[in-house]
Amino acid sequence: MYYAYKYRLKPSDAHRGELDRHRDICRQLYNHTLYRLNEYQDEHGELPSMTTLRSELPDLKKWWDGLSDVYSKVLQTVVERLFDNLKGLSKLKENGYGVGQLKWKPPREFRSFTYSQSGFKLDKKGGQTVLSLSKLGDIPIRLHRAIPDVHKSDGSCAAHQKSPISEDDATLKQVTVKKEPTGEWFATFGVKMDREPPELPENPEKCVGIDVGILKYAHDTDGTAVGSLDLSNERDRLEREQRNLSRKQHGSNNYEKQQRQVAECHADLRRKRRDFLHKLSNYYAREYDLVAVEDLNVKGMIESPSNSRNTASAAWRTFLSLLEYKCEREGTHFVAVNPRGTTKECASCGVSTEKPLWVREHSCPACGFEADRDANAAWNILSRGLEDVGVGYSESMPVETALPVDTPVSAKRVVEAGSPTLKERTASAVSE
In a domain, 113, yes or no: yes
> Same structural domain for residues 160 and 262?
no
Residue 40 CB coordination number (10 Å): 16
Domain extent, residue 42, equals 1-195
> Same structural domain for residues 244 and 316?
yes
Last residue of a domain, one of 159, 175, 195: 195
> Same structural domain for residues 313 and 176?
no
Q: In the prediction, which pLDDT does 313 show? A: 66
Last residue of a domain, one of 138, 168, 195: 195
CA 18 to chain centre: 29
Q: Provide Rg for the chain, Cα atoms.
A: 26
Q: What is the pLDDT along the chain (432 residues), one digit of tens a residue?
A: 788 899 999 999 999 999 999 999 999 999 999 999 999 888 888 888 999 999 999 999 999 988 999 999 999 999 999 999 999 988 888 877 788 888 999 998 999 999 998 999 988 888 889 999 999 999 999 998 887 654 443 434 343 333 333 344 678 889 999 999 999 999 999 988 777 777 887 788 888 888 888 778 888 888 888 888 888 899 999 999 999 999 999 989 999 999 999 999 999 999 999 999 999 999 999 989 899 988 876 666 666 666 666 666 678 888 889 999 899 888 888 988 887 877 777 777 766 777 766 667 767 767 767 677 778 888 888 888 888 777 655 444 454 444 445 556 776 667 664 555 566 655 554 444
In a domain, 104, yes or no: yes
> Same structural domain for residues 411 and 263?
yes
In a domain, 213, yes or no: yes
Would you say the C-alpha torsion 220, 222, 227, 229 has a positive or negative sign? negative
Q: In the prediction, which pLDDT does 150 show? A: 47
Helix (H) or strand (E) holding 178: strand 170-179
Q: What is the DSSP letter of 428?
A: H
Range list of H helices, 248-403: 253-287, 298-303, 308-314, 316-330, 373-389, 398-401
In a domain, 117, yes or no: yes
Q: In the prediction, which pLDDT does 374 show? A: 78
> Same structural domain for residues 81 and 158?
yes
Q: In the prediction, which pLDDT does 422 show? A: 66
Which residues have C-beta within 8 Å of that of residue 390, sequence separation ≥ 6?
none
Contact 135, 70 (CB under 8 A): yes
> Same structural domain for residues 282 and 355?
yes
> Same structural domain for residues 357 and 281?
yes
> Same structural domain for residues 168 and 296?
no
> Same structural domain for residues 3 and 135?
yes
What residues does 292 pair with on adjacent strands?
Answer: 209, 335
Closest CA to 111 of 19, 189, 37, 1: 19
**Domains in the chain: how many in total?**
2
In a domain, 11, yes or no: yes
> Same structural domain for residues 307 and 159?
no
Contact 372, 219 (CB under 8 A): yes
The Cα–Cα gap between 73 and 227 comes to: 47
Contact 412, 377 (CB under 8 A): no
The Cα–Cα gap between 83 and 99 comes to: 16
Q: What is the DSSP letter of 151?
A: B
> Same structural domain for residues 322 and 368?
yes
> Same structural domain for residues 100 and 225?
no
In a domain, 200, yes or no: no
In a domain, 201, yes or no: no
The Cα–Cα gap between 233 and 332 comes to: 36
Q: In the prediction, which pLDDT does 138 show? A: 94
